Amino acid sequence: MYPTDLTVAAVIEQDGKYLLVEEHAMGRRVFTQPGGHIEADESPEQAVVREVLEETGCTVECQEMIGVYLWIHPQTRQQFLRIVYAAKFISCDESLPLDDGILGRRWMSLGDLRDRRSMLRTYLKKVKKAIDAGDTEAALAIWRAALDDDPEHQILLSTLERLGVTALQETR
pLDDT of the residue at 91: 97
pLDDT of the residue at 155: 53
3-state secondary structure of 149: coil
Stretches in the chain below the pLDDT threshold 50: 121-123, 147-149, 151-153, 164-172
Tell me how many domains the chain contains. 1
- Residue 96 is part of a domain; what is its CATH number? 3.90.79.10
Q: Which of 13, 18, 9 is nearest to 109 (CA)?
A: 18
Element (H, E) at 141: helix 136-147
Tell me the pTM.
Answer: 0.69
pLDDT of the residue at 70: 83
**Residue type at position 43:** S
pLDDT of the residue at 122: 44
3-state secondary structure of 139: helix
E-strand stretches of 48-123: 58-72, 79-92, 102-108
Structural domain that includes position 11: 5-170
